Amino acid sequence: MIQVKNISKHYDETEALKNVSLHVERGELFGLIGPDGAGKTTLMRILMTLLLADSGEAKMDGLDVVKNFKKIRNIVGYMPGRFSLYQDLSVEENLNFFATVFGTTVEENYELIRDIYYQIEPFKTRRAGKLSGGMKQKLALSCALIHKPKILVLDEPTTGVDAVSRKEFWEMLKKLQKQDITIMVSTPYMDEANLCDRVALIQNGQILDVDSPQNITSKFPKKIIRVRSQEMFRLINDLRAFEKTESAFAFGQFVHFTGKNNAVESAELKEYLEKLNHKSILAEEVEPDIEDVFMSMQEQSQ
Amino acid sequence: MEKIITVNNLVKKFGSFTANDNLTFDVYKGEIFGFLGANGAGKTTAIRILCGLSSPTSGEVKVAGFDIYRETEKIKKNIGYMSQKFSLYEDLTVAENIRLYAGIYGISPKKRKEKMAELLQKLEMESAKNKLIAGLPLGWKQKLAFSVAIFHEPKIVFLDEPTGGVDPVTRRKFWDLIYEAANNGITVFVTTHYMDEAEYCDRVSIMNAGKIEALDTPEELKKRYNAKNMDEVFLKIAR
């Protein structure tokens, strides 16, 4: 449904995208996972026909993003990272406006947005600029869906959003996916990768990997040992000072440790920490998560 | 333990809307205090009051020993503040930003020069000294913004979502700085949407609809809510 082949784009001296290739299948929920400045927005804007690539090709539902840009605009819905509705129009007026621009009516596609829109419908006469963050997000999503797009592209819809609202937002996306909409969504939250069918890990304009979240973590070659003791700050520093340490990073209540050449066992680590007088030591091997993989790839690519 | 912030029955109303509904809590000197809550729970309102930028409707609040109604200027001198949205002037250079903040806090030129050299060396940013903020990577900006926020050696630093959007390695390096500041006796008051970061705090409060629903160490909260991590605790309280 989305094909990207060798796309590069630069701004002045910054190479925003370096020879990026990927594809998204019809009906997939596809994640672009990477920090600010990775190139996520640039890629999305090229796919939305809002920006020209320097080189390479991209197709949306078989349509070329340069030659067929007008046709593409009718079949895609886009929710940019920055709130881009009309602040001085009401909720209802915004929705009607977008429906009219796409030659349809709110009634015609109401079914698609009902679950989302009913939550803001009580405020339909309020100006969009006066809505709370969560309500703005729901309105923006309703407007992006009102012409029943085949492909929905969402640029960091959950950035700065609390954990509860983030969860609800992903539940909405899962529902939309069932209505035969292909979804590409970007996020800087690594834990959201697990909610996608497949993801591209992206950093400094380069794709580090494209695969299902399960495959990305299961093919990770390094052994992760999670460690904790009573003094977390000292623990991190002591682990970093250990000669056999490759990396030691805080992961919530644990420190995730990797040893040089994968050659450190948890028993050895425990012994080292006991010598340093750490109390209540726990050291056990765990499955890596996406963030472990991303951080390891990031260190390698630098 | 010495209390650095005391809040008693803090209420803040905007018209008929109660943004802070009778908050009572203390923050201890040198601790990392996580201030969590859903969007719209009232966190920003409370932080603005603690920073002396807004007055409560009622209640008693002391920050760094000063009264929130009568001594806001003294409070401002004793705190640092950094937010994700605004922290540095994009069209000034690194050195100009440091000079500006040092000037605002009345640091002498001699001391400023010494501290600036020390700071740039520590951040490994000497080569970027005369570069505009606008062109720096986000991770650098955040490190610098944090360092500028504690440049005048405040008693408390308020961090409002300091790590939003950065890559996972940079995010963790930022927390190294937070730990270091706390180790040096600066009290850190931090908000975040990353629940793994809640685990790094000494104590965490969770707000919902204007009230503090829970306040304890991450360990105790997980026990109380029978949750395996802070994400679960948060979902149980805020949903």
The neighbour count for residue B172, using CB atoms within 10 Å, is 22
- Answer whether B39 sits within 8 Å of A161, measured CB to CB: yes
Only one residue has tokens 């927005």, namely A41
Percent of chain B at pLDDT > 90 equals: 74
> In the prediction, which pLDDT does A158 show?
86
Q: Please spell the DSSP secondary structure of A17-48, one letter per residue.
A: EEEEEEEE-TT-EEEEE--TTSSHHHHHHHHT
- The answer to whether residues A65 and A154 belong to one domain is yes
Residue B57, domain extent: 3-87+158-238
Minimum distance, in Å, between the CA of residue A83 and any CA atom of chain B:
15
Q: How many independent structural domains does chain A possess?
A: 2
Only one residue has tokens 């050659």, namely A263
Only one residue has tokens 């250990």, namely A242
> In the prediction, which pLDDT does B136 show?
87
Pairing relationship of beta strands B156-160 and B79-83 according to DSSP bridges: parallel
- The answer to whether residues A18 and A132 belong to one domain is yes
> In the prediction, which pLDDT does A45 show?
96
Is the Cβ of A159 closer than 8 Å to some Cβ of chain B?
yes
- The answer to whether residues A264 and A297 belong to one domain is yes
Substitution target in B141, B167, B220 with the highest count of A β-carbons within 10 Å is B167
Minimum distance, in Å, between the CA of residue A258 and any CA atom of chain B:
14
Give the domain CATH number at B54: 3.40.50.300
Sign of the CA dihedral A227, A233, A236, A239? negative
Minimum distance, in Å, between the CA of residue B74 and any CA atom of chain A:
31
CA distances from B127 to A86, B95, B123, B130 (A): 43, 11, 11, 8
Q: Which residues of chain A have pLDDT under 50?
A: none
- Domain membership of residue B83 (yes or no) is yes
Percent of chain B at pLDDT > 70 equals: 99
List pLDDT tens digits, range B120-161.
Answer: 998 889 999 999 998 888 888 889 999 999 999 999 999 998
Residues of B whose CB is below 8 A from A133: 39-40
What span, in angstroms and rounded, lies between the C-alpha atoms of A86 and A127? Answer: 9
Task: Answer whether 0.95 is exceeded by the pTM.
Answer: no
Substitution target in A12, A138, A164, A302 with the highest count of B β-carbons within 10 Å is A164
- Domain membership of residue B37 (yes or no) is yes
Sign of the CA dihedral B61, B67, B69, B74? negative
Please, which residues bridge with residue A302 across strands?
A: none
- The answer to whether residues A141 and A271 belong to one domain is no
> In the prediction, which pLDDT does B207 show?
94
> In the prediction, which pLDDT does A197 show?
97
Q: Which of A91, A98, A135 is nearest to A116 (CA)?
A: A135
> In the prediction, which pLDDT does B38 show?
85
Q: Which of A240, A47, A10, A271 is nearest to A151 (CA)?
A: A47
Substitution target in B186, B193, B199, B217 with the highest count of A β-carbons within 10 Å is B193
Phi, psi (degrees; rounded to nearest 5) at A256: -95, 125
> In the prediction, which pLDDT does B81 show?
93
Burial of residue A18 (CB within 10 Å: 0-12, 13-18, 19+) is: middle
Task: Out of B41, B168, B235, name the one closest to residue A295 (CB).
Answer: B168
List pLDDT tens digits, range B86-110.
Answer: 679 999 999 999 999 999 999 999 9
> In the prediction, which pLDDT does A256 show?
94
Only one residue has tokens 């949750």, namely B227
Residues of A whose CB is below 8 A from B38: 162-165
pLDDT value at B48 more than 90: yes
What span, in angstroms and rounded, lies between the C-alpha atoms of B147 and A208? Answer: 32
| CA max distance for chain A | 73
Dihedral of CA atoms A158, A164, A167, A172 in degrees, nearest 10, equals: -80
- Domain membership of residue A205 (yes or no) is yes
- The answer to whether residues A148 and A271 belong to one domain is no
- Answer whether A163 sits within 8 Å of B193, measured CB to CB: yes
The neighbour count for residue A89, using CB atoms within 10 Å, is 15
Task: Out of B165, B167, B231, name the one closest to residue A159 (CB).
Answer: B165
Residues of B whose CB is below 8 A from A159: 164-165
Give the domain CATH number at A279: 3.30.70.100
What span, in angstroms and rounded, lies between the C-alpha atoms of A300 and A165? Answer: 34
Is the Cβ of A171 closer than 8 Å to some Cβ of chain B?
no
The mean pLDDT value of chain B amounts to: 92
- The answer to whether residues A196 and A225 belong to one domain is no
What single-letter amino acid sits at A252? G
- Domain membership of residue B199 (yes or no) is yes
Is the Cβ of A267 closer than 8 Å to some Cβ of chain B?
no
> In the prediction, which pLDDT does A300 show?
77
Give the domain CATH number at A118: 3.40.50.300
- The answer to whether residues A105 and A69 belong to one domain is yes
Q: Which of B82, B62, B49 is nearest to B3 (CA)?
A: B62
> In the prediction, which pLDDT does B67 show?
96
Residues near A278 by Cβ (< 8 Å), separated by ≥ 6? A229, A230, A231, A234, A235, A238
Task: Enter the DSSP assignment of A242.
Answer: S
What span, in angstroms and rounded, lies between the C-alpha atoms of A174 and A157? Answer: 14
- Domain membership of residue B22 (yes or no) is yes
Is the Cβ of A203 closer than 8 Å to some Cβ of chain B?
yes
> In the prediction, which pLDDT does A209 show?
93
The CA-CA-CA angle for residues A75, A43, A200, to 5°, reads 100
Residues of A whose CB is below 8 A from B234: 163-164
Q: Are the C-beta atoms of A48 and A79 separated by less than 8 Å?
A: no
CA distances from A252 to A289, B134, B205 (A): 13, 32, 16
- The answer to whether residues A184 and A118 belong to one domain is yes
3-state secondary structure of A132: coil
- Domain membership of residue A192 (yes or no) is yes
- The answer to whether residues A126 and A259 belong to one domain is no
- Domain membership of residue B106 (yes or no) is no
List the structure tokens of A240: 């970093």
> In the prediction, which pLDDT does A302 show?
64
- Domain membership of residue A215 (yes or no) is no
Only one residue has tokens 């990927």, namely A22
Residues on chain B bordering chain A, Cβ-to-Cβ distance under 8 angstroms? 37-41, 84, 137-138, 161, 164-170, 172, 175-176, 179, 183, 193-196, 199-200, 218, 229-231, 234-235, 238-239
Residues of A whose CB is below 8 A from B138: 35-37
Residue A290, domain extent: 220-301
- Domain membership of residue A152 (yes or no) is yes
The neighbour count for residue B221, using CB atoms within 10 Å, is 23
ipTM (interface predicted TM): 0.76
> In the prediction, which pLDDT does A188 show?
86
Nearest CA in chain B to A236: B176
Minimum distance, in Å, between the CA of residue B109 and any CA atom of chain A:
34
> In the prediction, which pLDDT does B86 show?
64
- The answer to whether residues A276 and A236 belong to one domain is yes
- Answer whether A253 sits within 8 Å of B137, measured CB to CB: no
> In the prediction, which pLDDT does B166 show?
80
- The answer to whether residues A274 and A194 belong to one domain is no
